[in-house]
Amino acid sequence: MKIKLEILSASSICAKQEIEDLHTKILVPKMVTRRRLTRAAKMAIYLADHVSFTQGKIIYGSSFGELPATANILHAIQKEEGISPTHFQNSVYNTAVSYLSMLHENKEEILTVSSGDNTSEKVLKAGAIKALEGGTFLLLVTETLNIDAIDEVNTCHAHLESGAALKVRLSTETPTIDIKTLPVDKHLPASVQLLYALASTIKTTQKNIIEVAL
């Protein structure tokens, strides 16, 4: 079974350490909300803004989830210190899109996929399946690996923060992009590569149609 999607708009971001300006002060005016946001939440808000998405279903993906919050909790336990409630509530994998939903009061279905290196591919598949119901929705991936001593375990990712967003809908038109032959940036986490490559490939002068094989 193959399902075709039209990419209506796309955005991607990455940095070796930390993405410098995510426009968070502008996008999240309330300080009480802004100060609780994780890096992944700030990236999700930035990417969603770039594709002009506020309402609708979201399929979000991350292989490692909220790694900074997780690392903070591990260190607190190891040092026999109390765990920060904020770190704990921000450690679940659906944190980033939950803050995004709160910001825009988006009460639609929001799913979080975490399928290791294949997370982008599985986000696309889940998105294609959800697209059969109609509507415009958001496919989003982020990774935030920028924690102290990450080099002890990270030997392959040169970019520690990365993310991509696609606003999509179901299509019946002929594909214009072959996702199998897309050039991917090997410096990015594998979980981000496919959506990042798609976001980097789309052309504003033509329709961008992909075909997703289940």
Partner 1 sequence: MTTKNRVYLTSSTSLSCAGDSNQALFDNVVNGVTGIAKDPNYFDSATPAIGKFTQNYNFHKALVSQCQYILDLCQLEDFTDTLLIVGSSVGGMAETEKRFFKDKNYTNIDPNFHNIHTIAHVLKSHFDFYDDISFSTACTSSANAIGYAYEVLSKGLYKRVLVVGADSLTHTTIGGFLSLGVLSSAPCKPFDISRDGMNVAEAIACLLIETEPQQNCVEIKGVGYSSDAYHMTHPHPEGLGAISAMSSALRAANLDTEDIDYINAHGTGTSANDNAEANAIASLFGEHTPVSSTKAITGHTLGAAGALEAIISSLVLTEGILPQNTFLDKAENTDIALMKKSKISSVSYVLSNSFAFGGNNCSLIFGAVK
169's enclosing H/E stretch is: strand 161-170
Does 209 interact with partner 1 (rule: CB under 8 A)?
Answer: no
Does 97 interact with partner 1 (rule: CB under 8 A)?
Answer: yes
Query: Which tokens in the block code for residue 74?
Result: 């591990």
Question: Could you tell me the smallest distance in angstroms from the CB atom of residue 208 to partner 1?
Answer: 24
Dmax over Cα atoms in the chain, in whole Å? 59
Does 120 interact with partner 1 (rule: CB under 8 A)?
Answer: no
Question: Could you tell me the smallest distance in angstroms from the CB atom of residue 203 to partner 1?
Answer: 30
Cα angle value 9/113/195 (rounded, 5°):
35
C-beta of 82 vs 183, nearer to partner 1: 82
Does 93 interact with partner 1 (rule: CB under 8 A)?
Answer: yes
- How far apart, in whole angstroms, are the C-alpha atoms of residue 83 and residue 73? 6
Total residues contacting partner 1 by CB under 8 A comes to 55
Give me the 145-174 binding string for partner 1, x by CB under 8 A, dash otherwise.
Answer: ----xx-xx---------------------
- How far apart, in whole angstroms, are the C-alpha atoms of residue 164 and residue 144? 12
Q: What are phi and psi of 138, to 5 degrees?
A: -110, 130
Q: Which of 17, 23, 54, 133 binds partner 1 (CB under 8 A)?
A: 133
Cα angle value 175/177/182 (rounded, 5°):
150
Question: Could you tell me the smallest distance in angstroms from the CB atom of residue 57 to partner 1?
Answer: 9
Q: Which of 6, 13, 42, 65 binds partner 1 (CB under 8 A)?
A: 65
80: left (phi over 0), alpha (psi -120 to 50) or beta: left
Question: Could you tell me the smallest distance in angstroms from the CB atom of residue 68 to partner 1?
Answer: 13
Q: What is the dihedral of CA 64, 66, 71, 72, to 10 degrees?
A: 180
- How far apart, in whole angstroms, are the C-alpha atoms of residue 176 and residue 199? 14
Give me the 16-55 binding string for partner 1, x by CB under 8 A, dash otherwise.
Answer: --------------------x-------------------
- Residues 6 or more apart whose Cβ sits within 8 Å of residue 181: none
Question: Could you tell me the smallest distance in angstroms from the CB atom of residue 206 to partner 1?
Answer: 29
The footprint of partner 1 (CB under 8 A) covers 1, 36, 63-65, 70, 73-74, 76-78, 80, 82-85, 88-95, 97-99, 101-102, 104-116, 119, 122, 125-126, 129-130, 132-133, 149-150, 152-153, 214
